[in-house]
Amino acid sequence: MEFIQTIKLARMRNNEHYQFMSEVDKAINKATPAALQLEGVYPDFAGGLARLNGSLLIDPGSVKTEEIATVDVGRDRTWSALNERVKSSLLSPIEAEVASAKAIKRIFDLYGNVRSLSYNEESAAISNLVEDLEKSKNEAHCNTLGITSWVAALKQQNLDFQSLIDSRNLELANKDSGDVKVLRDELDPIYQNIVKRINAQVTLEIATPATEAFIRELNQRIKYYNETITARDGRASAAEEDSPVEPLVE
């Protein structure tokens, strides 16, 4: 039996917390509150999330938001171009191109359609995809298919996107007002109540296939955010260890 795992809500940055809760909301609506037996608590969750959104709202017409959307579309198009180029090369009359296309297609299949992922997940998937394509054993295949420059373009677009996201996240961090903390403190117990209700269904062996699918999907997202937080904590600890120790003044 699989239960919903714990997540480090208190250690999340504002943008991470809001995005996670938004993804929970999306998953609930995908399964429907009724199918998950959450009709009694979901309205409170949706209301709390809407209030939190209002407190963190960034002007959707801002230049930065438009830039993020534009760069995201650009990297999606480049990924699509690469994917289509690889698939079309499977029909090439040149055996070497077919062999290279098969090798590269296996890598693309490993990551799936990254365009359907959330911003953070897509960024991570593209980073890993590019890293795999740049490995020496795959570099020759990319050269054979003539996609080396496209891979480099996708890498740069992804870096540009992450830079813009980091900049916007800084805006959110600077909006760390008392209202945001209060609203997070209101929403977190509602989320925990949802988790308790879902896990109780598993314990009582009354979880439906829809509930089990919801748990699996949510646990994947929880794993991602927990790993993000752990990695950030690790970098912070390393930075502290590398800091010079000031000498004692006697």
> How many domains does one find in the chain?
2
Q: What is the pLDDT of residue 131?
A: 96
In this predicted structure, the answer to whether residue 40 has a pLDDT above a threshold of 80 is: yes
Task: Indicate if 157 and 124 belong to the same structural domain.
Answer: yes
Q: Give pLDDT, residue 64.
A: 76
In a domain, 208, yes or no: yes
Assess whether 183 and 210 both reside in one domain: yes
Question: Within this chain, do residues 94 and 163 fall inside the same structural domain, yes or no?
Answer: yes
pLDDT for 132: 96
Q: Which residue has the higher pLDDT, 15 or 74?
A: 74
Q: Looking at the structure, do residues 105 and 200 belong to the same domain, yes or no?
A: no
Residue range 107-155, pLDDT digits in tens: 999 999 999 888 888 999 999 999 999 999 999 999 999 999 999 999 9
Same domain, 133 and 44: no
In a domain, 242, yes or no: no
- Residue 249 is assigned to a structural domain of this protein: no
The Cα–Cα gap between 249 and 208 comes to 67
Q: Which of the residue ranges 20-24, 69-73, 137-141, 243-247 would you say has the lowest mean pLDDT?
A: 243-247
> Residue 2 falls within a domain, yes or no?
no
- Whether residue 3 lies inside any domain: the answer is no
In a domain, 120, yes or no: yes
Q: Do residue 78 and residue 124 come from a single domain?
A: yes
- Domain containing 18 equals 9-59+179-233
Token reading at 218: 């949510």
Asked if 160 and 113 sit in the same domain, the reply is yes
> How many of the other CB atoms lie within 10 Å of CB of 232?
13
User: How many residues can be counted in the chain?
Assistant: 250
Instruction: Please check whether residue 248 lies inside any domain of the structure.
Output: no
**Do 167 and 67 reside in the same domain of the chain?**
yes
Question: 84 or 232, which is more confident?
Answer: 84
Global pTM exceeds 0.85: no
> Same domain for 26 and 115?
no
* Residue 247 pLDDT level (bands cut at 50, 70, 90): very low
Gap between the Cα atoms of 71 and 5, Å rounded: 34
Of 195, 196, 22, give the one whose Cα is nearest residue 118.
Answer: 22
Q: Are 107 and 129 in contact (CB under 8 A)?
A: yes
Quote the pLDDT of residue 242: 46
> pLDDT confidence of 181, banded at 50, 70, 90?
confident
Smallest CA-to-CA distance from 37 within 217, 214, 189, 187 is with 214
Confirm whether 77 is domain-assigned.
yes
